[in-house]
Amino acid sequence: MERPLPALAVFTLLVLLAGGLEVVRPFGRSLAGLTGGLLTLDTLIRTGLLTIVLVGLNLLMGYAGQVSLGQAAFYGMGAFWSAILTVRGPVLGLSPSLVQAWWWPWLVMLLGAALVGTFAYGVGWVILRLRGHYLAMATLGLGITVYILLRENLGLPHLNLTGGFDGVFGIPRLRLGPYPVWPAERYYFLVWLVALLVIALGLRVVDSRVGRALRAIHGAEGAAESVGIPAAAYKAQIFGLSAALAALGGSLYAHFQAAVVPATFGFVPSLELVVMASVGGLRSIWGAPVGALTVLVLGDFVRTWMRGLLPTMAGEVEGILFGFLLILVLLFWPSGIAGRRRAAEVVL
């Protein structure tokens, strides 16, 4: 933490190594083969996507001390924004040549992050007045409201923008000029490039005037204000930033998955994000990739194991795992994997 650059360099090397392994495939073995199916390219891409979201969540929860139980809503807003504008363009009266252009999805992605960030910034001014329990409940209400709006076609059934329960599918892959950022190996490098940039951004924020102000707000908001820190403004800004990052992750997710459904962005996913952040360590930017990877791998493992045990099983059985993880981490390991013990008691 004190020396972020070497850590960042080592981490970048690790990312390149894992990606390179998948591209080169030494001795004809893929990553999944080498790790006994535990680490697949899919898992690593997801880890990258979630890292983008979790860095924002860590800044918000771990550093500024503001809880969000509705972060998946912003993730979903980004995903659906990209999905709708790249697939349902004609319905909205956009010219096909515009929607077909290779730079259109990229522009949509950036616009989406900016818009969702601005929206959250505005909402943040209002709801971040609340503290503790009440903020948690308000963000939860916000998250569920967004989820219902997505599920109910935003109240505009004749346009069928979000596709209701079924969501939007057939989302195009990203392209750089004539080159598609696909198959998955290429997408891996794109996602992790963004994720590394976001981690670098997070490390910068934490180690700056803003980061110190956020920690001061977390420690004692009144005291922070008394020494001239505009707490309300900072809180709204960091809420906006975390939402923008979540939306960015969501857009990248939409182009990775090629299909989005509202259920991916409901209540349990919001909690899943909180569990990942807590497992990794709320008060550490490195907690984001560590937590995402740990929980994803554990989730995959449990799902496979449960399927073996109960072949007829359907649905989100891993919810029970998240519950246990959350309780155990909160009770016995509040600093998380990547966090430092000293900071532990301040978290949450």
Partner 1 sequence: MEVRTTWAHPVIRRQKRAGLGLWTGLVVLLIALILLGREHGFGPADFAQFAVDGLQAGAIYALVGLGFVVVYRVTGVINFAQGGFVMLGPMLTVTFLGQRTTAEALQLLLSILRAVLLTGLVGLLTYGIALRLRRTALPLTRIMITVGVYLILQGAALLIWGPRPQVLPAFTTLSMQDRLLVVGEVVVRAQTLWIWACAVTLLGLLAAFFEFTLLGKAMRACAINRTAARLVGIPADAMAALAFMLAALLGACAGIAVGPVTRPTFDMGLEIGLKGFVAAVMGGLVDIRGSVVGGLILGVVETLWAGVTRAGFRDVIAFLVLILLLLFRPLVPLSEEA
Return the bridge partners of 260, or none.
Answer: 168
Q: Is 219 in the site for partner 1 (CB under 8 A)?
A: no
Q: Is 103 in the site for partner 1 (CB under 8 A)?
A: no
* Cβ at position 274, least distance to partner 1 in Å: 7
Question: Smaller CB distance to partner 1: residue 33 or 157?
Answer: 157
* Cβ at position 120, least distance to partner 1 in Å: 14
* Cβ at position 337, least distance to partner 1 in Å: 17
Q: List, in order, residues 6 or more apart from 127 with CB less than 8 Å away.
A: 135, 138, 139, 142
Q: Both tokens of residue 180?
A: 């598609």
Question: Smaller CB distance to partner 1: residue 10 or 310?
Answer: 310
Q: Which of residues 136-165 bind partner 1 (CB under 8 A)?
A: 136-138, 140-142, 144-145, 148-149, 151-152, 155
Q: Which of residues 179-218 bind partner 1 (CB under 8 A)?
A: none
* Cβ at position 160, least distance to partner 1 in Å: 14
Q: Both tokens of residue 34?
A: 């080498």
Q: Is 319 in the site for partner 1 (CB under 8 A)?
A: yes
Instruction: Return the HEC string of 57-121.
Output: HHHHHHHCCCCCCCHHHHHHHHHHHHHHHHHCHHHHCCCHHHHHCCCHHHHHHHHHHHHHHHHHH
Q: Is 223 in the site for partner 1 (CB under 8 A)?
A: no
**CA angle 9–14–20, rounded 5-degree value:** 120
Q: Both tokens of residue 155?
A: 């109240």
Return the residue of 3, 315, 341, 342 that touches partner 1, per CB under 8 A.
Answer: 315
Residue type, 46: R
Q: Do residues 336 and 278 touch, judged by C-beta distance below 8 A?
A: yes
Q: Which of residues 270-309 bind partner 1 (CB under 8 A)?
A: 271, 274, 278, 306
DSSP tag of 171: P
- Taking residues 116 to 135 in sequence order and writing x for each that binds partner 1 by CB under 8 A, - otherwise, the string is ----------xx-xx-xxx-
* Cβ at position 315, least distance to partner 1 in Å: 5
Q: Both tokens of residue 131?
A: 């503290």
Q: Do residues 261 and 92 touch, judged by C-beta distance below 8 A?
A: no
CB atoms near residue 5 (< 10 Å): 9
Return the residue of 102, 267, 301, 333 that touches partner 1, per CB under 8 A.
Answer: 267
| Interaction site with partner 1 (CB under 8 A) | 67, 69, 126-127, 129-130, 132-134, 136-138, 140-142, 144-145, 148-149, 151-152, 155, 267-268, 271, 274, 278, 306, 310, 313-327, 330-331, 334, 348
